[in-house]
Amino acid sequence: MKKGTTVYLYELAWILPSIAIPVGMLAALTVTAFGAGIHLPSVDRQVNPTKLAETPPFDAPRVAQVAPGKYEVYLTGQIWSFAPAEVRVPAGSTVTFVATSRDVVHGFMIPGANVNTMLLPGQVARVTTRFDTPGEYPMICHEYCGIAHHTMGGKLIVEPRS
């Protein structure tokens, strides 16, 4: 093999993957976003964190049934608790969390479910997931938010269908 040919093949071995890898990633993104409907938790809208007491729905944090089998949880994080601290839904429910912070940056995570977002004062996070398996799921703050951060949690109870 001539020297020139070797260099060319060597370059090609770098060039082809550097094209194939981004193209593959873009294809994976397209398939998951449009095909599988997977989205990052995103900012829904903005609110004034000092006026949450008079800003619906955060003036009354709660679980609301919006359609058969569909629930919305209007949730706030504050040092060092979630409101509501306990959420109950029947198994098979699709639950959308609409959540924000009253004070500092908090986290909101439900291990074992597809819920993991940040609660930022002023920003409303929106994340939807489905609960099929009855049981008790912890709701955890996973962003350090001060001296009692480790105590900040709640629970989500998925009740068996009767």
Q: Which of 99, 143, 154, 158 binds ligand CUA (CB under 6 A)?
A: 143
The candidate with the shortest Cα–Cα distance to 139, out of 76, 90, 70, 92, is 76
77 vs 152: CA distance, rounded Å: 9
Taking a C-beta distance cutoff of 8 angstroms, is the pair 41, 127 a contact? Answer: yes
Minimum distance of ligand CUA from residue 82's CB (angstroms): 8
93 vs 156: CA distance, rounded Å: 12
Taking a C-beta distance cutoff of 8 angstroms, is the pair 97, 118 a contact? Answer: no
125 vs 41: CA distance, rounded Å: 7
Placement of tokens 């912890």 in the chain = 138
Minimum distance of ligand CUA from residue 99's CB (angstroms): 12
Does residue 106 interact with ligand CUA by CB under 6 A?
A: yes
19, containing H or E segment: helix 3-30
Does residue 102 interact with ligand CUA by CB under 6 A?
A: no
Q: Which of 98, 118, 145, 158 binds ligand CUA (CB under 6 A)?
A: 145
**Residue 39 or 150 having the CB closest to ligand CUA:** 150
Does residue 52 interact with ligand CUA by CB under 6 A?
A: no
Tell which positions 64-83 bind ligand CUA, by CB under 6 A.
77, 80
125 vs 122: CA distance, rounded Å: 10
Position 128, amino acid: T
- Which of these ranges, 34-42, 46-54, 64-72, 136-144, lies near ligand CUA under the rule CB under 6 A? 136-144
Does residue 149 interact with ligand CUA by CB under 6 A?
A: yes
Minimum distance of ligand CUA from residue 102's CB (angstroms): 11
What tokens appear for 18 in the block?
Answer: 């550097």
Minimum distance of ligand CUA from residue 156's CB (angstroms): 16
List residues near ligand CUA by CB under 6 A. 77, 80, 106, 141, 143-145, 149, 152
